Structure 1
């Protein structure tokens, strides 16, 4: 299983939110580039980066910083947050980002994500399924939609998207463990590369996800708060 240390960027800082709420923010560093270099030096094999300003505003304010991160390290970076145009996808890939993550735009138009996966390769495009209950959320998690998690996932997988990142918003940043029941349902779908996100509380959660056979897992607050170490991440992941 691939384990992705998370770097969330807001106003140029490395931060973590609780349940996606911008007003419930903790700052963990002032230099995302140095943070990326730190995790690589300690053994990370890949990173998960979110432009929170982009997620809430859709303007890609931190694109320059993310480009510097991609150049400063040799491990793959996946990036999400406000990627809602084909131009944005291309710009990130041209900056050296390995995989772009489409969220709100894919909810509004699954065809957009499906076409992007065909155009740029399924390994380089993921769709983020951020859920409140069984309903998919949008626009920095503050908006709702009529789409249900399982039917949305099935639509994407049937048409060529293979990497899905599932987050239970109620658990994100809460250190209460992922939504293993929903992970199991998604993991049973044919052809899925499932990345688990939200709620990881320590190494045992990561071990359980690995035993389930999921493709990847993201850890943010647990890593920054010392609930899981990079040594354990290297030991569990690949």
Structure 2
């Protein structure tokens, strides 16, 4: 199972996107470049970077910060936030990100998603699905759409998508364990590779979500609060050492 060390960026700084007050300032460093290097040094084999400003505003905002990260790390990076045109996707792929995550546009404009896959290939285009009580949240999670997560995932699959990043917003905010039931529904009723995000707070959570059949897990707040030690998680769930 692939693990993704999460970095969320706002105003050029590393932030914790969770609502809980005790998590907001619990960041190892406000410098996203230093944080990226820190995770890499601890054994991260993939970074998951989200530009929160871009997700909310609908266009890339912290591109210079992303570029600075790409200049210093040697592990692959997947990026999401504000990608609503072919030009924007092309810019970030040329910058050096390994693949991009499309969210809001996948809801409102499936033709855009189809075109992106045709232009760049399915290995470069992921769909991000943020769910709130089973309904898909859009525009930086500011609004709830009329789509449920499984319907959107199945629609994306028909358009040629191979991988989705599924985030349970409620679990992410509480950091009290993953949404196993809805995640397993996606695994069981699609042929997609599912990367799970949201609420992962312990090694046991990683074990539970792995057993649901996902291909990867993004870890964010649990790394900042040291609930999960990245080096140990990589050893157990990527290298398969001493896994029960």
Band of TM-score, shorter chain: over 0.9
Deviations 1:122-177 (A, max 9, x none): 11110011111121111110112111111111111122101111111111142211
1:46 is matched with which residue? 46
Counterpart check, 1:131 vs 2:126? no
Mapped to 2, the partners of 1:12 and 1:124 lie a distance apart of 25
Mapped to 2, the partners of 1:80 and 1:206 lie a distance apart of 23
Counterpart check, 1:110 vs 2:97? no
Mapped to 1, the partners of 2:26 and 2:117 lie a distance apart of 34
* Matched-pair contact (CA < 8 Å) for 1:207–1:236: no
Counterpart check, 1:57 vs 2:57? yes
Mapped to 1, the partners of 2:187 and 2:71 lie a distance apart of 33
Q: Per the alignment, in what secondary structure is the counterpart of residue 75 of structure 1?
A: coil
2:183 is matched with which residue? 183
Q: Output aligned runs, 1:59-208, within 5 Å.
A: 59-208=59-208
1:221 is matched with which residue? 221
1:26 is matched with which residue? 25
Counterpart check, 1:5 vs 2:16? no
* Matched-pair contact (CA < 8 Å) for 2:26–2:224: no
User: Is there any run of 5+ residues in structure 1 with no aligned partner, and where?
Assistant: none
* Matched-pair contact (CA < 8 Å) for 2:153–2:190: no
- Root-mean-square deviation (Å): 1.7
Q: Per the alignment, in what secondary structure is the counterpart of residue 106 of structure 1?
A: helix
* Matched-pair contact (CA < 8 Å) for 1:173–1:221: no
* Matched-pair contact (CA < 8 Å) for 2:184–2:213: no
Mapped to 2, the partners of 1:25 and 1:105 lie a distance apart of 28
How many residues matched? 236
* Matched-pair contact (CA < 8 Å) for 2:59–2:81: no
Mapped to 2, the partners of 1:46 and 1:102 lie a distance apart of 18
1:27 Cα shift? 5.9
1:187 Cα shift? 0.7
Mapped to 1, the partners of 2:153 and 2:133 lie a distance apart of 15
Mapped to 2, the partners of 1:14 and 1:168 lie a distance apart of 21
* Matched-pair contact (CA < 8 Å) for 1:3–1:45: yes
Further displaced range: 36-45 or 170-179: 170-179
1:60 Cα shift? 1.3
1:70 Cα shift? 1.3
